[in-house]
Amino acid sequence: MKFRSLVLFLSFLLIAKANGQEINPISKDTKQILFLGNSITYGGQYINYIETYYRLKHPESSIEWLNLGLPSETVSGLSEEGHAGGRFPRPDLHERLDRVFEQIKPDLVFANYGMNDGIYLPLDEIRFAKYRDGINWLNDKILSIEADAIFVTPPIYDPIKGEAYANVLDNYSDWLISKRYTDSWEVIDLHWSMRKFLEEKRASDSTFYLAKDGIHPGDTGHWLMAKSILQSIGESELDPFEEFSNSVSSYPNAIEILALISKKQAILRDAWLRSTGHLRPGLAEGLPLEEAYIQVNLLEKEIQILLR
């Protein structure tokens, strides 16, 4: 165990040195930002944190932040036998992306896939190739609408829940990071910073976790995701803060603004998923877009008052 801990520690040091985040501030011309991903993105807490923090720092900003994450989705097109008790296969981003881009023309797309793409089985070259092919296809699609693509490494799968699948996501993350150097992609690495954080906490508290089920992060995990993304777009003062609430403690009305943005984000997400369509059963049906934006505009007025 001591040897394994030393190897992990040295690995983290090498990764931190070799894969330091590049800083790419959001262009002043950016009007709309789209997030694509699976259930972690659909849950949207990290996106709520990002929008709230960014708007507190830049109250004049009029960027529209949209979340079109979809639970269970993959970019690899794979689905395990008997997924969801046999009720439905995993949705595949290939099925819906053209409709999304027909209706939404974002300036910037954040894509966060990987967690579901190995379908919770040990590392396998065929499944790995499907993930790589899916990510390359997604990059081409984003470029085809003349948007900028930013790929985000997947959050960690808790090794306590299974070392084999944790290793899968380590490999997927390393490959995605390598695209910075082989193809000049913009890639944000949150995987290894989360892994390092978890290992450090477990060193003093073996019961600590970021995701109770090993997959879906709680508040701290979503904040670590948001923090990595915010730092990559130039918000450089976040290192000391392990929780969102601490990072905004000096801003009046920050928690009230977060609540309003979270409500607004959920309305927009559900409305746009309804409008663009998907094959994932069991989700709440969103409002028609016109009705959704009536509610969103009212919430936005409250947000603007609190920001002032």
- DSSP three-state, residue 66: strand
Residues 112-124 have a mean pLDDT of: 98
Q: Which residue has the tokens 């070392």?
A: 163
Report residue 63 CA to chain centroid gap: 18
pLDDT reading at 139 higher than 80:
yes
pLDDT tens across 234-256, in order?
A: 999 999 999 999 999 999 999 99
pLDDT reading at 174 higher than 70:
yes
What value does the CA radius of gyration of the chain take, rounded to a whole number of Å?
19
The pLDDT value recorded for residue 23 is: 86
Contact between 143 and 107 under an 8 Å Cβ cutoff? The reply is no
The pLDDT value recorded for residue 278 is: 98
Residues 293-298 have a mean pLDDT of: 98
pLDDT reading at 86 higher than 60:
yes
Residues 138-155 have a mean pLDDT of: 98
Among residues 85, 40, 77, which one has the least CA distance to residue 215? Answer: 40
Q: Which of 4-13, 97-106, 268-277 has the lowest mean pLDDT?
A: 4-13
Q: How confident is the model at residue 6 (pLDDT cuts 50, 70, 90)?
A: very low
Question: pTM for the whole thing?
Answer: 0.92
The pLDDT value recorded for residue 21 is: 66
Positive or negative: CA dihedral 175, 25, 31, 146: negative
The pLDDT value recorded for residue 20 is: 59
Domains of the chain: 28-248 (3.40.50.1110)
Q: How far apart are CA 44 and CA 69, in angstroms?
A: 8
pLDDT tens across 192-208, in order?
A: 999 999 999 999 999 99
Q: How confident is the model at residue 10 (pLDDT cuts 50, 70, 90)?
A: very low
Task: Give residue 42's region: left, alpha or beta (phi > 0; psi -120 to 50).
Answer: alpha
Q: Which residue has the tokens 């109770």?
A: 212
The pLDDT value recorded for residue 201 is: 97
pLDDT reading at 17 higher than 60:
no
Strand order in the sheet with 108-112: 64-67, 32-37, 108-112, 148-152, 186-188
Q: Which of 12-21, 102-111, 191-200 has the lowest mean pLDDT?
A: 12-21
Q: How far apart are CA 194 and CA 222, in angstroms?
A: 10
Residues 31-43 have a mean pLDDT of: 98
